[in-house]
Structure 1
Amino acid sequence: MTTLIVTNDFPPRQGGIETFVHAMATRLPRNDVVVYTSDEPGAARYDATLPFPVVRDRARTLLPTRRVTRTALGLAREHGADRVWFGAAAPLAAMAPELRRGGIRRMVATTHGHEIWWARTPGADRLLRRVGDHVDVVTYLGAYTRARIAPALGPRARLERLVPGVDPAAFRTGEEDADGARLVRERHRLTGRRIILCVSRLVRRKGQDVLIEAMPAVLREVPDAVLVVVGQGPDAGRLRRLAARHAPGRVVFTGGLDHAGTAAYYAAADVFAMPCRTRKAGLEAEGLGIVFLEAAASGLPVVAGDSGGAPDTVLDGVTGSVVDGRSPAAVAEALTAVLTSPEERRRRGEAGRGWAATHWSWDTSAHHLDTLLDPDRPLQRNRTAGSAVALPASPRAPGDAARRPSKSG
């Protein structure tokens, strides 16, 4: 049974959604997969490494136009696909009615965090209603995103939790990957330093600016500390200027790295921090944060901002800390607490590894997606949630409970 994956978010483009879609595509059990996605520099070389076909549209961004819909239907017929997974619901799942009329039997659309903007924007919210009315299942990351997206999807939407995961074999501790850690430290002249790592797109919501502003307070307690920022994005210039003003010589910008290339940076680090914050009156929030899981799997204490679903990835006080992502003082306090205490750093790192391995499995999530895509598997009404779900249910992390929404900033 072939699955057509329709998405704009696919490597070599970098980002959390790209990681999510790639992990699902390579793990869907017992299935043939074909990916229809947008063009990207370096795509041909990357696609040649994959065990399934990837069809690149000439456009850099796919939209649910008639042409793109016709192409998707043509690929489904060519490859014998009768089920479709939209790697991100907005906007591409809006083509669902036309795909259904064209013979697609089953459709699942996955939401992340950006759909919050769609849900709260007049006009854009109608697209989400169209998705909710016409796909078989809409997946969500956790309680925070569900609460904000579900009303726009409408009463006919059938909701199911689908979480990302982490591969413990790919993300290892500094002891397990001593060579990789050593090479990173030597490459950036960081031998003997205590490394604070942030891996993310360089956008304001992710909080690299607050990390930089926290560095003077950190350096007063930990004089050998250095911040390593991995990623690229539109905020790069502003962040470099902030670093020159607040912590000259103590912030290293590596630029963007492919997903596999980040593993050695986790191994080289002492603590991971991304103090994400909710912005624009709640329109921008962190959906979850795969990087927090990767850091935990690498044995790092995690400092996460209190935005959106990010707190779901951290056991506060056990695997790391959840802080006000707008407060340099709060970030500095959380960082110095682990950087000045090797025992606390070790304890939280070990707890994080167990947390990632137990609760965040790509294989489990891929199996769950496979059951949702099965056109012959009946859906059962979930009376408590008011949505239809396929059984068995996806594993729930302890953080998937109603929480006080984080403040906008």
Structure 2
Amino acid sequence: MRIVHVVHSYWPAAGGIENVVKALAEGMASRGHEVHVVTGAYGGRPREEVVNEVHVHRVRSIRLGFPDLTYPLYVPRELLRSADIVHGHSQNSLFTVKILEEAKGLGAKTALHFMAVDSLRDHPNPLVRLIGPLYGRRNVKVALKASDLRLVKSHRDAEVLRARYGVETVYVPDGVDEGLLTMPNMAEKFRERFGVHGPFVVYVGRLHRLKGVDVLIRAMAVVRREEPELKAVVVGPGNQGSYLTLAERLGVRDRVLFTGYVDEEAKVGAIDASLALVLPSVSDYAEAFSLAITEAWARGKPVIASAIGEVPYRVKNMVNGILVPPKDLRTLAEAILAIAHDRGLRDKLTKGARPDAPTWDEVIDLLLTLYSSTQLRA
């Protein structure tokens, strides 16, 4: 089968959607399928290359500030026309919707993963809050016309598409790496490598304002008053400058450790050594499906998370984690302290922290079946 994935940015860019498409593309290629990724020409990589058996096509594009506002200046029409399936990722992406529209017009079968549908109303940027909902609704309508197979990874998105657009979807979540389920405990290796020897909570993800890392830092200033030895470890890529300045100003620079981008072993070690994963995101848009939650539960760790996006559908308060209101640093601090101080609560939540996602192999099995479905017609 010739499979084309469409996403506005791809490896070596690091992020949730990039990691997902990479896992799907490489997993499908490893089964003998001819897999292509059409993406924007960013990151200094060659326009055409083969990476782990995946044919990557980086097309000329312009980007208007936000990754989702990437627009393709070239469309590989012959590739799209010859594809057995063109699978786009995120209707919020102008790049993806435009390429998918072209594919549909060329007679290709199309699939689209809808993500964070109509989710810009709570964005921290007032201009995005004003214009974003109009942009979002426009893209949803265009994407619905351009897609034969409508997929979601979020029960929230399934509900929104059903209630507001009268559309039924197929639930295909992101997967969990089987290695996460079998890898030995890496806590001591992480502690030795980074010199972290006391208790800490961990954040795993990009350093982005929508992810609420600043909220976590502010919460740690409250935590320090009661538990001065407790730290927060922040794992992930991005510009640390403003966060380091904030931590310095609040007097918690020594209580917040930034590791930057790390390899898989170090990331798993950080989760293993932590008391809990903290996910303080501030907008529905940021959490269509959290891979970090999947990873934490795969390692048997509870989650403290903002009740936004898909999170409340997965995190059950006081069962497998603690839900807190977004941007509420004091409630977040109280949750962190509760996890640190109450061994009984920690044991209860740890017991409830079990993987809720299929493996990537299972996700790929389902997608390949859906791609071949006789009901999927261009």
Q: TM-score range by the shorter chain?
A: 0.7 to 0.9
The answer to whether structure 1 residue 238 and structure 2 residue 236 are counterparts is no
- Alignment identity in percent? 26
Aligned pairs for 1:232-381 within 5 A: 232-233=237-238, 236-246=240-250, 247-257=252-262, 261-278=266-283, 284-352=285-353, 355-356=354-355, 358-374=356-372, 376-377=374-375
Work out the CA distance in 2 between the residues paired with 1:342 and 1:60: 52
* Native 8 Å contact 1:222 1:340 kept in 2: no
The TM-score normalised by the length of structure 1 is 0.76
Change (3 A) 1:140 1:221: same
Counterpart check, 1:177 vs 2:185: yes
Q: How many residues align?
A: 356
C-alpha contact 1:300 1:345 (8 A) present in aligned 2: no
Answer yes or no: is the 8 Å Cα contact 2:201–2:232 preserved in 1. Answer: yes
Q: Is the 8 A contact 1:19 1:259 kept in 2?
A: no
| C-alpha displacement of 1:5 | 0.9
Give the aligned partner of residue 100 of structure 2.
96
Is the 8 Å Cα contact of residues 9 and 88 (structure 1) preserved in structure 2? no
Of 137, 147, 150, 1:135 maps to 147
**Which structure is richer in relative contact order (CA contacts within 8 A, separation 6 or more)?**
1
Kindly indicate whether the alpha-carbon contact (under 8 Å) linking 1:87 and 1:110 is maintained by their aligned counterparts in 2: yes
Q: 1:43: how far off? A: 4.7
1:93-113 Cα offsets, whole Å, 9 max, x none, are 234343233231x10011222
Tell me the SS of whatever aligns to 2:177: coil
Q: Is the 8 A contact 1:196 1:227 kept in 2?
A: yes
CA drift at 1:365: 2.4
Paired with 1:229 and 1:55, the residues of 2 have a C-alpha distance of 33
Aligned twin of 1:396: none
Over 3 Å counting, the alpha-carbon distance change for 1:50 and 1:134 in structure 2 is: same
- Provide Cα deviations, 1:214-245, integer angstroms capped at 9, x if missing partner: 223323443321111122346x3332222113
Does the CA-based 8 Å contact 2:85-2:110 persist in structure 1?
yes
Query: Over aligned residue pairs, what C-alpha RMSD do you find?
Result: 3.0
**Post-superposition shift, 1:34?**
1.5
Match of 2:175 among 155, 162, 165: 165
| CA positional deviation for 1:378 | 5.8
1:188 aligns with 2:189: no
CA separation of 1:237 and 1:172: change in aligned 2, threshold 3 A: farther
Assess if the C-alpha contact under 8 Å between 2:40 and 2:70 holds in 1.
no
Hey, what does 2:138 align to over in structure 1?
A: 126
Which residue is equivalent to 2:55? 53
Question: What is the aligned partner in structure 2 of residue 18 from structure 1?
Answer: 18
| 1:364 maps to amino acid | E
Q: Which runs of 5+ in 1 are unaligned?
A: 380-409
Give the secondary structure class of the aligned counterpart of 2:13: coil
Take 1:299 and 1:189, find their aligned partners in 2: how far apart are those partners? 23
Distance change in 2, residues 1:371/1:158 (3 Å): farther
Q: Which amino acid aligns with 1:113?
A: A
2:3 aligned with 1:3, yes or no? Answer: yes
Q: Which one-letter code corresponds to 2:368 in the other structure?
A: D
AA in 2 matched with 1:253: F
* SS of equivalent to 2:243: helix
Asked if structure 2 preserves the Cα contact closer than 8 Å seen for 1:182 and 1:268, the reply is: yes
Amino acid at match of 2:90: A
Residue aligned with 2:335, SS: helix
- One-letter amino acid matched to 1:301: P
* Other structure's SS at 1:5 match: strand
CA–CA separation in structure 1 for the residues paired with 2:288 and 2:254? 32
Q: How much has 1:302 moved relative to structure 2?
A: 0.8
Q: Offset at 1:148?
A: 4.2
Quick one: distance in 1 between partners of 2:273 and 2:45? 29
Matched, 1:109 2:109: no
Counterpart amino acid of residue 239 in structure 1: Y
